[in-house]
Chain A
Amino acid sequence: MQNAMLRPPAQAMDLNRLGAGFASRLSFMRTLVRHMTDNQWRIEYSRFNLDENGYGHVVFDIQSPNSHLSFVVFSQYLDSSERNDRVIAEKWDLTMTLMEGGVDDATLAMLEANVPLQEAGRIDARSISLARANRSARVFGEVLENLRHGQQPDVQRLTEVGYLYRTTAVYGSGKFGSCDWDKVVNQHPDLARPFAGEMLVCYLLRQFSLDQLHHMAHQDAYPNAVEMDVDLQRYLGIGNSTGLGMAPWLINHPQVIAQWVLQRETALANVLQTEVTAEKISQLQGLMSRACQHVSEVSTFDDWQAQNNRVLLADLEALNDWFNDAASEVNSWQQINTWAEQNYSLETQELLVNLFLEMYPQMVDSLEDQMAAVESLQYDPTASAQDLADAVQESYDWVFDYDFSDVKQCETFWYYSQGKIEPRLGKIGTDDGAELQMFLGIAKAVQECHTALLALLADDADATVADFLLLNPSQQAIVARIATMSQTHFGEIRANLLDAGVLPMHLLRAKLSFFGVSKFDPKSALWVRNTMFQGAPLVSDLMADDKSAIKEDWSFPVAPKSLASNAAAQQEVTHG
């Protein structure tokens, strides 16, 4: 294959575009499920101690090719007045940890004393992740009552929500005493992909939510209780509520983001070079059709997202009509991609990118092994200051698009509150705390660094980076960043996070799309609800000898069509 042409960084790293992303084959949830399936992970309960109300604890025993893991869930009563998805919450319906090895009684007691406390407790280096979840107040009780009385739940109702529980935080990488990422890489290679441990937590949480529901349904008082239709079980995911905390992460881990984008863009570039056939166009139309139905089933009260969805549906309909009329005129995928870039919304363009990837697993899937990055922002003190200034011109030319003498372009500041260290936004001149703002104004810092570099070079053309830093010690962080990121192909996310009109939602969605979530439902500019693992195989599917029930492509899940009639038939039998 010829060298494929990557999209330019100005396009791929534009925050508005990143904020229009969708899940793809390279998303971490898809990758995890592929590995669990292909490598025949064994997942079963070693303890299931729940009372009739679903309170108690369970332990999943997980055997992957290289690791023996346990997933421990504690379920407790939570008054609805205490249910809060924000970081500042102090109590949750479910708390859990993923850890290495088995769980004996002493370990369980230690976990029981700490995991429900979350930040206020301590776990140890055997734990890989710590998480919590809250029940969907809207749906859980309704579904439970349906099942207890022999009825299938209302599909429309489940379509609107899509989950029984939603995670409100999933921590890893050494938080609260858990093990560092380097340990995961060294000792648990099956989880040595970005956020694989965290994704496993969410996947097993989804399974627990179904198992707890059925356990509560099948109590003695409900002899007519039924299992939820298995297609409907697969259709249910786990909810996720993501707020501002994810946004600084993207700016503080630029090497990781650049690596993720590089793999996706490499996959796209390879696919765009492949030959177009009538069969592939038909496959693309099928994917578009499913994506349309998926998007049309998204429930959101957010006007901006709803409008984006409407435009996307119109774009896809237009493209589909064109395929029906003139498929023979399609010469290449690049032609379609260019057409989309010229005529369709960013969301439509990015959706098409991911559908292109979906059609060519053999070109895409191996790139998942390149997603991880060793992080170290550092400079070479012996490099020339001129080279550093040149690197700014070549890799950070976009920062000069901003005028920071305009107060509006540096009006926003990001900070952490003292209370539970919650990330928040403030306005300079209005809110307190600007002097304690996070270091997220990369464009502004690069501009200032460049100005200082030019001033030094005017006096000393042979100055080294170390000379510059000895004179300008406050520039160390941005110099390390420029020196490192200018060596990457895609570099930084191109945005000014200090702008008065900054939309954190784009940052949240950028990361969540790489995770593989669906059904973005912004609740404000600062937080978003979405679903994870909707449509994914169940644990029972993974464990079955016959793997035919596993849909390899479970992206853009849609509501099961036949359930209404199934439910009616089941009622007749039950009451007959």
Chain B
Amino acid sequence: MADLLQISANEMKFLVKRSVEGLGFTPGDQLGAGARAAACYQYGLANSAVIDAALSNLQAAVTGPVLIDKGDEWLFDAQGQSALVQAELALGAALSHGASAVRVRNTSQGMLVAPVLMAWLSKPMAQGAVQQSMALYFVSQKGDQRCLWLAANGMPLGLYQPKSEVVASNELLVRVAEEDVDAHLITDGADLLGWRERSLDQGLLVDLNLVTRLKTMMMDSFVPESEESRNSGAGPS
């Protein structure tokens, strides 16, 4: 069993943000990555393996998803980028034009986009028609089909296992106004919220190897020491 370290959600945010910054991503990607890693961990939608894989799948040279098709289901190519960053650009663009379904292919760790949808739905949107229940389909880290069903106010209704394949292993899919999901319930919304409460109460238990990796990665976002720099710091030396 891996050694675990208890950290706060705020630390998770900081570590992931800084690690993504160290790879050269923009401030929006940095902030988004930190916030969604922490939120998914709090809800039990992500664990250390998910965050670790999402970091490994980051593509620093990719600046955003590419629109492939605007049919009934809008289709984007994430160009290999994990959903830790940028996937929301595709979802937002499709939803803002009334798409009822958005599929992003060539991505990974699709569960990480869930906090973005929750946040969007939690506040009134300019286009009220978009403000409906949403189902986020993705593939778990173990390769199982999953569906996170969200109410129109962004609250989680439950995590499900679809009865048939809805997304390929490198895809995520959002369906708007999903009135029912053809799936087995894994855990309901109250459990997800309860998980978050427990995470707040006790902190996040994270694989020590992931923490070590994040701390190493984030060093690339800090400026190396020099005597001159050290002397310019604030305070008496």
Chain A: CB-nearest residue to B127: A382
Q: Which residues between 456 and 506 of chain A lie within 8 Å of chain B, taking CB atoms?
A: 464-467, 469-470, 473-480, 504
Among A179, A469, A480, which residue has its beta carbon within 8 angstroms of that of B200? A179
Among A84, A382, A504, which residue has its beta carbon within 8 angstroms of that of B95? A382
Across the interface, which residues of B come within 8 angstroms of A422, CB to CB? 233
Q: Which of B47-55, B86-94, B145-153, B178-186 contacts A (4 or more CB under 8 A)?
A: B86-94
Q: How far is the CB of B215 from chain A (nearest CB, A)?
A: 11
Cβ of A182 < 8 Å from any Cβ of B? yes
- Report the separation of the CA atoms of residues A86 and B21 in the bound assembly, to the nearest whole angstrom: 25
Cβ of B232 < 8 Å from any Cβ of A? yes
- Report the separation of the CA atoms of residues A474 and B24 in the bound assembly, to the nearest whole angstrom: 11
Q: Which residues between 385 and 432 of chain A lie within 8 Å of chain B, taking CB atoms?
A: 387, 415-419, 421-426, 431-432
Judge whether B223 and A417 touch: CB under 8 Å: yes
- Report the separation of the CA atoms of residues A174 and B203 in the bound assembly, to the nearest whole angstrom: 9
Chain A: CB-nearest residue to B98: A382
Q: Which of B2-10, B103-111, B136-144, B164-172 contacts A (4 or more CB under 8 A)?
A: B2-10
Cβ of B209 < 8 Å from any Cβ of A? no
Contact string, B10-44, partner A, CB cutoff 8 A, digits 1/0? 11000000000100001111111000000000000
Contact string, B110-153, partner A, CB cutoff 8 A, digits 1/0? 00000000011001011100100000000000000000000000
Cβ of B226 < 8 Å from any Cβ of A? yes
Judge whether A470 and B233 touch: CB under 8 Å: no
Across the interface, which residues of A come within 8 angstroms of B88, CB to CB? 381
Judge whether B235 and A477 touch: CB under 8 Å: no
Chain A: CB-nearest residue to B228: A431
Judge whether A186 and B236 touch: CB under 8 Å: no
Among A244, A377, A383, A431, which residue has its beta carbon within 8 angstroms of that of B233? A244
- Report the separation of the CA atoms of residues A387 and B229 in the bound assembly, to the nearest whole angstrom: 43
The bracket for how many chain B residues form the interface is 35 or more
Among B97, B120, B125, B223, which residue has its beta carbon within 8 angstroms of that of A432? B223
Q: Which of A269-277, A292-300, A523-531 contacts B (4 or more CB under 8 A)?
A: A523-531
Cβ of B60 < 8 Å from any Cβ of A? no
Chain A: CB-nearest residue to B67: A470
Chain A: CB-nearest residue to B12: A174
Cβ of A87 < 8 Å from any Cβ of B? yes
Chain B: CB-nearest residue to A418: B222
Q: How far is the CB of B2 from chain A (nearest CB, A)?
A: 17
Instruction: Report how many A-B pairs have Cβ atoms within 8 Å.
Output: 198
Across the interface, which residues of B come within 8 angstroms of A383, CB to CB? 125-126
Cβ of B72 < 8 Å from any Cβ of A? no
Judge whether B234 and A524 touch: CB under 8 Å: yes
Judge whether B226 and A177 touch: CB under 8 Å: no
- Report the separation of the CA atoms of residues A178 and B201 in the bound assembly, to the nearest whole angstrom: 10
- Report the separation of the CA atoms of residues A504 and B230 in the bound assembly, to the nearest whole angstrom: 18
Cβ of A122 < 8 Å from any Cβ of B? yes
Judge whether A421 and B222 touch: CB under 8 Å: yes
Cβ of B187 < 8 Å from any Cβ of A? no
Judge whether A423 and B234 touch: CB under 8 Å: yes
Cβ of A1 < 8 Å from any Cβ of B? no
Most buried by B among A176, A178, A381: A381
Cβ of A173 < 8 Å from any Cβ of B? yes
Judge whether B225 and A186 touch: CB under 8 Å: no
Cβ of B71 < 8 Å from any Cβ of A? no
Judge whether B32 and A476 touch: CB under 8 Å: yes
Cβ of A241 < 8 Å from any Cβ of B? yes
Chain A: CB-nearest residue to B131: A382
Judge whether A183 and B201 touch: CB under 8 Å: yes
Judge whether A466 and B96 touch: CB under 8 Å: yes
The bracket for how many chain A residues form the interface is 35 or more
Across the interface, which residues of B come within 8 angstroms of A504, CB to CB? 234
Chain B: CB-nearest residue to A377: B31
- Report the separation of the CA atoms of residues A416 and B29 in the bound assembly, to the nearest whole angstrom: 19
Among B21, B63, B201, B237, which residue has its beta carbon within 8 angstroms of that of A84? B237
Contact string, A239-263, partner B, CB cutoff 8 A, digits 1/0? 0010111000000000000000000
Judge whether A436 and B222 touch: CB under 8 Å: yes
Across the interface, which residues of B come within 8 angstroms of A381, CB to CB? 88, 91-93, 95-96, 120, 125
Cβ of A368 < 8 Å from any Cβ of B? no
Q: How far is the CB of B74 from chain A (nearest CB, A)?
A: 11
Q: How far is the CB of A423 from chain B (nearest CB, A)?
A: 7
- Report the separation of the CA atoms of residues A124 and B235 in the bound assembly, to the nearest whole angstrom: 29
Contact string, A32-47, partner B, CB cutoff 8 A, digits 1/0? 0000000000000000
Across the interface, which residues of A come within 8 angstroms of B10, CB to CB? 173-175, 180-181
Cβ of A339 < 8 Å from any Cβ of B? no
Contact string, A365-379, partner B, CB cutoff 8 A, digits 1/0? 000000000001110
Among A88, A180, A473, which residue has its beta carbon within 8 angstroms of that of B89? A473
Cβ of A102 < 8 Å from any Cβ of B? no
- Report the separation of the CA atoms of residues A174 and B34 in the bound assembly, to the nearest whole angstrom: 14
Q: How far is the CB of A575 from chain B (nearest CB, A)?
A: 40
Chain B: CB-nearest residue to A474: B26
- With A125-B201, A433-B223 in contact, is A86–B236 under 8 Å at CB? yes
Q: Which residues between 9 and 51 of chain A lie within 8 Å of chain B, taking CB atoms?
A: none
Cβ of B64 < 8 Å from any Cβ of A? yes
- With A122-B5, A125-B8, A417-B222 in contact, is A469–B89 under 8 Å at CB? yes
Chain B: CB-nearest residue to A508: B234
Q: How far is the CB of A509 from chain B (nearest CB, A)?
A: 14
Judge whether B93 and A416 touch: CB under 8 Å: no
- With A381-B96, A382-B96 in contact, is A387–B225 under 8 Å at CB? no
Judge whether B233 and A417 touch: CB under 8 Å: yes
Question: Would you list the 6 A-B pairs with minimal beta carbon distance, nearest first?
Answer: A476-B28, A174-B8, A381-B92, A174-B10, A243-B234, A433-B223
Can you list 6 pairs linking A and B with CB atoms under 8 Å apart?
A125-B8, A380-B126, A383-B126, A415-B222, A419-B225, A470-B67
Q: Which residues of A contact B (CB under 8 A)?
A: 84-88, 122, 124-125, 173-183, 186-187, 241, 243-245, 376-378, 380-384, 387, 415-419, 421-426, 431-433, 436, 439, 464-467, 469-470, 473-480, 504, 523-524, 526-527
Question: Other CB < 8 Å A-B pairs besides A179-B200, A504-B234, 14 of them?
Answer: A86-B233, A124-B203, A173-B8, A173-B10, A175-B10, A179-B203, A382-B130, A417-B225, A426-B229, A432-B223, A436-B21, A470-B89, A474-B28, A527-B235
Q: Which residues of B contact A (CB under 8 A)?
A: 5-11, 21, 26-32, 63-65, 67, 86, 88-93, 95-97, 119-120, 123, 125-127, 130, 197, 200-203, 219, 221-226, 228-230, 232-237
